[in-house]
Amino acid sequence: HASFSDPNAIHFNDPKWSNMWYIHCNNKNSRCRSEMNILAAWQRGYTGKNVVVTILDDGIERNHPDLAQNYDPVASYDVNGNDHDPTPRYDTRSENIHGTRCAGEVAAAANNSHCIVGIAYNAHIGGIRMLDGDVTDIVEAKSLGIRPDYIHIYSASWGPKDDGKTVDGPGLLTKQAFEQGIRKGRKGLGSIFVWASGNGGRQGDHCSCDGYTSSIYTISISSTTENGNKPWYLEVCSSIMATTYSSGEYNERRIVTTDARQRCTDAHTGTSVSAPIVAGIIALALEANRLLTWRDVQHLVVKTSRPVHLKAEDWKTNAAGHRVSHHYGFGLVDADAMVLEATKWRTVPPQHTCSQIAELHTRHIFAGQSLNSSLTTSGCSGDTEQHVGYLEHVVAKVLIVHPRRGDLEMNLISPSGTRSQLLAKRVYDSSNEGFRNWEFMTVHFWGERPEGMWTLEIIDSPSKLRNPEVLANLKEWTIILYGTSQNPQQHYSAQQSQSRMLVVPSPELILEEPEVQEEEEEEKEEEEYTGLCHSECGDQGCDGPDADHCLNCAHFSLGSLKSGRTCVSHCPPGHYGDIVSHRCKRCYKGCDQCVGRSAGDCLSCQRGLYLNTLNSSCINTCPLGHFADEDQRQCLKCHETCTMCLRYADRCTSCSEGYSLAGMTCVPECTNGTFFHLEEMTCSPCHSSCRTCTGLGKEDCIQCAKGYLQQEWRCVQTCASGYYAGEAAGLPHKICHRCEDNCLCCSGPGPTCTKCKAGYSLISRTCIVNASCNNADEVFCEMVKSNRLCERTFYSQFCCRTCLMNG
Amino acid sequence: LSGRGDLYTNHWAVRIAGGAQQADRIAAKYGFRNLGQIGSLEDQYHFHHSRVVRRTAFSLKGLHSFIHMDPKVDWAQQQVVKTRVKR
């Protein structure tokens, strides 16, 4: 642990720490750029502990000295190789370095004299190798669906081509995987998907044509340079939510991270840098509050990100007061604000969806002109299940026939007049496919009211001559409003006022010291009054009918001569009745009720502060082992199994010795071979094949028992046919690896087959289909034989077996 | 891959109700190998056909193509290679 009391005093011994300008300001002779406030979040004690992040990419170098400590094999898989080891394939062109670079940004270990410090340097980091091979819908769906109850955050820094003429996104299976992750991941709280917004290093593209970043389920992250400029590679679009620093011009500082082959690098660039940074920051926020749902996280990003010095000509304030831009979304992320808000966050109201198809009057879009199509909505106010009163994401699903798609620009204008550009012209896109129900998503209307008229504006400005007879046609467009029926802002503001109370700028301003004031008062004589006195007046009478005319008080006097004194039956909050002087005296600062003026005399505290029962004082942060009870405004003890808890005694965030965290409950650490059965509240034995497990079933093993091997997701005593037993890095047991195709028995990877499936013959230890091919003529077989093609699987279908058998 | 149309692989995504054994039977029937369920997507299976060429510019037809017409198959899709660039 480094001493955090003075941020500038923090120093890790990692060699590249001094280059991490985007985290600290230690380098006095250049401008401080630590507005992402990552250090401040660490200062609050959040470093990503027990949060699991995985990188979907081309692999992760799990034995990199800066990654090994936090590497988590359970959060890793190799979809390309179909095994549990995501180590990248090393080749001369260093193609597969990307995943390792991303991983370091998230969770490189701190203070270990290696390379850098990750944003969440105590988080678990895994890798899913899925880019180093044919990427198909199945590959992506599998990757996004790996261990959704174990992995909290998936970070991806890839997407469709950015050639300015591609319109592509997740396939059918991958969309289902997204929805499944959102619905069921993290035991129903929803998996968190962070995506690098759509740059790729070429010009003339618009990231609305990238279906991953345009999904409402992904948090799309943009980049800015050290000086707040738009990087040359950046694409703009309306789905960007927030921004981090990344590489810029040659004279601007860069981001440093781990590199393959156990190295460090500052060559990691583009928005590939930004997604992992935000994944790390969200890990800090999840550590602060495990109960954040996927939408809570997005609301947090919207609420805490801000423009700071980011330069963009299109910054605007939407009708809910959010500053937003097509370049940077809601602005630069703020880790400290995120974790602070997270600690007090209350889950936002449920998401509602309201969609409406526009009635089209005119459909033709004439070249060189624009077409406006409007629809009026009530936000489905008639249906309580669908009613959207406050917006989150807005999607315009558009079906357009057009001879040259790239000539189109589209804008969506909300009833409040906010204008969001859904698509910009793309001069390279000469496709005549139009848009087939493509979903353009914008976050620019976040927090606005949806009721009223929405207008889709389509501008057609040909960049080349077109055949005037071929008309463009708006076939259909649907608006889909996502949001809440209640105002999440109220939810915010309740916390806002609290947070304002919690963060009191200068206590002297608000609460004066009582003794000093009162000793200075003198009483003045009044002229004669003969009417009735107020009931609170004492035996010396009064000079008027009100309580402030009394000459002495029956119970207590409140106030001072200067501000006016009155008699009261009991003292107001923040005061106590001094029996001797019959005066209301102020309690110690922060106290709401007290029996004396010293700090230890408090009975209850003012809003935002909590009574520390250990010493009866009012504090804004409860001591360790206690939680702040909002109702009683007291620090109450956590459950004895917890060392730290949140909002309730049994909502634990860290556990006492001998207990471990399951969700937010501390359960007895069960010995190896057992797991804590939540329903029965006891340690129950794992399946006999498991050494450690998360449940009763055979599929719940985490590690296999002695003498067992892991095959797919189970533990078996012997590998099934078609598999061979092999070592598994990072695991105490062996794993059954798959033999080559069509092989039933093998002794290892590659051509080591000893027995083939029916219909295949074993030739030079590989299985060749033995279909007879009666149409192979002599010459052909001779060619095959002379070129020894039979030894290559691809040609084996040319009936090599027949030729060979014939000698 | 730039500048050309779809690239077809010898992998299929198939949706079959009735569990893994049913999927195995149907896979074997058309010469596929069932590589198991796709993540946690219920009834969605990953089939591989070793006798279909691994990458072609067009979708090869053959006995395996009849799987698309099998009454027990709700949905089947031959997988195409997607171009993905790192950001």
This complex has an ipTM of: 0.96
Q: Do B84 and A159 touch (CB under 8 A)?
A: yes
DSSP class per residue in A276-332: HHHHHHHHHHHHH-TT--HHHHHHHHHHH-B-TT---TT-EE-TTS-EEBTTTBT-B
Query: Which one is catalytic: A14, A24, A57, A429?
Result: A57
Q: Name which residue leads in pLDDT, A225 or A785.
A: A225
At A94, list the tokens. 């260093």
d(CA A609, CA A624) in angstroms, rounded, equals 16
Q: Do B84 and A146 touch (CB under 8 A)?
A: no
d(CA A288, CA A120) in angstroms, rounded, equals 12
Q: Is A737 a catalytic residue?
A: no
Q: Is A72 a catalytic residue?
A: no
What DSSP element (H or E) covers A783?
helix A778-786
Listed range (A273-287, A417-431, A460-474, A624-638) with the worst mean pLDDT: A624-638
Q: Is A57 a catalytic residue?
A: yes
Residue A806 pLDDT greater than 90, yes or no: no
d(CA A36, CA A44) in angstroms, rounded, equals 15
B18–chain A nearest CA distance, Å: 19
Task: Return left, alpha or beta for A207; rule: phi > 0 is left, psi -120 to 50 is alpha, else beta.
Answer: alpha
d(CA A350, CA B40) in angstroms, rounded, equals 25
> Cβ of B60 under 8 Å from any chain A Cβ?
no
Which of B54, B81, B86 would you mutate first to test chain A, the one with the most A CBs within 10 A? B86
**In a 3-state reduction of DSSP, which class is residue A796?**
helix
Q: What is the pLDDT of residue B16?
A: 97
**In a 3-state reduction of DSSP, which class is residue A468?**
coil
Q: Do A200 and B83 touch (CB under 8 A)?
A: no
Q: What is the pLDDT of residue A1?
A: 37
Residue of B nearest to A144 (CA): B39
B24–chain A nearest CA distance, Å: 15
Residue of B nearest to A207 (CA): B87
Nearest CB to B44: which of A166, A173, A201?
Answer: A173
Q: Name which residue leads in pLDDT, A658 or A370.
A: A370
Nearest CB to A797: which of B40, B51, B84?
Answer: B51
d(CA A164, CA A205) in angstroms, rounded, equals 4
Residue of A nearest to B2 (CA): A161
Residue numbers in A near B82 (CB within 8 A)? 135-137, 140, 160, 168, 171
Confidence of residue A651 (pLDDT cuts 50, 70, 90): confident
A58–chain B nearest CA distance, Å: 10
At A561, list the tokens. 């001569």
Please report, for chain A, how many H helices and E strands are present, in that order: 12, 47
At A647, list the tokens. 């909002």
d(CA A7, CA A25) in angstroms, rounded, equals 9
d(CA A326, CA A316) in angstroms, rounded, equals 10
Nearest CB to A138: which of B46, B83, B86?
Answer: B46
Q: Do B41 and A275 touch (CB under 8 A)?
A: no
Q: What is the pLDDT of residue A777?
A: 56
- In terms of Cβ atoms closer than 10 Å to its own Cβ (0-12, 13-18, 19+), residue A360 is middle
d(CA A622, CA B34) in angstroms, rounded, equals 56
pLDDT tens digits along B50-75 = 999 889 988 888 889 999 999 999 99
Q: What is the pLDDT of residue A751?
A: 82
**In a 3-state reduction of DSSP, which class is residue A709?**
strand
Query: Which one is catalytic: A64, A98, A326, A387?
Result: A98
**Residue A767 is which amino acid?**
C
Q: Do A171 and B9 touch (CB under 8 A)?
A: no
CA B6 to chain centre: 15
> Cβ of B37 under 8 Å from any chain A Cβ?
no
| Percent of chain A predicted with pLDDT > 90 | 50
**In a 3-state reduction of DSSP, which class is residue A790?**
helix
Give chain B's radius of gyration (CA, Å). Answer: 14
* Cβ contact A633:A607 at 8 Å: yes
* Cβ contact A388:A352 at 8 Å: yes
Confidence of residue A800 (pLDDT cuts 50, 70, 90): low
CB atoms within 10 A of CB A268: 24
CA distances from A405 to A401, A463, A478 (A): 8, 11, 19
A685–chain B nearest CA distance, Å: 26
Q: What is the pLDDT of residue A374?
A: 95
CB pairs < 8 Å spanning A and B:
105
Residue of B nearest to A159 (CA): B84
Listed range (A129-133, A257-261, A495-499, A768-772) with the worst mean pLDDT: A495-499
Q: Do B40 and A168 touch (CB under 8 A)?
A: no
A328–chain B nearest CA distance, Å: 16
Q: Do B46 and A196 touch (CB under 8 A)?
A: no
**In a 3-state reduction of DSSP, which class is residue A343?**
helix
Instruction: Map A210-240 to HEC letters.
Output: ECCCCCCCEEEEEEECCCCCCCCCCCCCCCC
Nearest CB to A157: which of B33, B79, B86?
Answer: B86
**In a 3-state reduction of DSSP, which class is residue A160?**
coil
pLDDT tens digits along A531-561 = 777 778 877 778 777 888 787 887 788 877 6
CA A242 to chain centre: 11
Query: Which one is catalytic: A272, A274, A305, A485?
Result: A272
A507–chain B nearest CA distance, Å: 49
Per DSSP (E only), the strands in A659-720 are: 659-662, 665-668, 674-677, 682-685, 690-693, 701-704, 709-711, 714-716
Confidence of residue A799 (pLDDT cuts 50, 70, 90): low
Confidence of residue B1 (pLDDT cuts 50, 70, 90): very low
Mean pLDDT along residues A329-347? 95
pLDDT tens digits along A254-270 = 999 999 999 999 999 89
